[in-house]
Structure 1
Amino acid sequence: MKIRQAHIDDLEQIVNIYNQAIEVGQRTADTVLFTTEQRLEWFREHNEKTYPLLVATEDDEILGYLTISPYRNGRLALRKTAEVSYYIHFQHHRKGIGSFLMNRALELCSDLHLENLIAILIGSNDGSVGLLKKHGFEEWGRLPNIVDFGEEKFDHLYYGIHIK
């Protein structure tokens, strides 16, 4: 397995992985599937020097991806804080891919001049909570019952880590 910066040719596989999370539910607050074209601008906002989009690959298959994105973009006092998000293809859950990606993201923080990483997730996502805790993230905030999927409501969690 290798980790690299995503290329435009990867976008279709990345969108398919994200759409899996939407279809299953309670993994993202998005509820409508995306097309590759709809995610093009989002893709272009990520680059190796400031806000990377990393993919874990085996042969030509993308097993999962991780993004580092601005947190509260444009607010200078928060420039050393970023949001981390990650999604793993469902056929490759529980194989260490999330940890592999997270380790790389944490290694990059120094070069990116980041001092804090925040993950924002839905309270029912036990797998993500476990991954974050494993890597030293702590719960920094909880917004109770604001994620509304119609029949069910969930907490919105903020997990964070201070990078040393």
Structure 2
Amino acid sequence: MSIRLAEYKDLEQMVKIYNQAIETHRCTADMDTFSVEERISWFEEYQCLEYPLYVYEIDNKVVGYLHFTGYRKGRRAMRYTAEISYYIHNDYQGQGIGTKMMEFALEKSKEWGYLPEVADFDGEVCSHLYYGLKI
């Protein structure tokens, strides 16, 4: 078992895993599955250290992935805040992989019960009463 940064070679398996999540109608708001080609620009968008993609491997096979996404992207006051999403191949669910991926994500983040001073309105800093993570 290992968690590492995603590479292009992982994209096909990541798309397969995400399409499984779409088909369950429980894990994502997407309703239509994707081809690998349709997810290339999405993958490339995450090839930065700000909001990275990570894969979870067992015996060199990608069986899950997680990523950080800008929370309320485009709203400058929330530019330092992100949400975490993760997906696990159907055949590997119920084995604690989601827990391990969330533990990994939390190690990369500072956790707290509300978002203190995350909104910066041109120097006026405000807090939000949410549960969340600051990365």
**TM-score, normalising length: structure 1:** 0.65
Q: 1:162 to 1:43 in 2, by over 3 A?
A: closer
Q: Return the offset for 1:30.
A: 1.1
Q: 1:90 to 1:41 in 2, by over 3 A?
A: same
Deviates more, 1:87-96 or 1:43-52: 43-52
Per-residue CA distance 1:128-147 (angstroms, 9 max, x = gap): xxxxxxxxxxxx5xxxxxxx
Q: Which has the larger radius of gyration?
A: 2
* Map 1:44-59 → 2, pairs under 5 A: 44-47=44-47, 49-59=49-59
Q: Please give the secondary structure, in 2, of the residue aligned with 1:74.
A: coil
**Structure 1 vs Structure 2: percent identity of aligned residues?**
46
Distance 1:11 1:31 in 2: 20
Q: CA RMSD in A?
A: 2.0
Indicate the residue corresponding to 1:91 in structure 2: 91
**TM-score, normalising length: structure 2:** 0.78
Unaligned runs of 5+ in 2: 116-129
Distance 1:12 1:79 in 2: 30
The answer as to whether partners of 2:109 and 2:133 remain within 8 angstroms in 1 is no
Indicate the residue corresponding to 1:119 in structure 2: none
Q: Please give the secondary structure, in 2, of the residue aligned with 1:30.
A: coil
Distance 2:80 2:134 in 1: 10
Unaligned runs of 5+ in 1: 117-139, 141-159
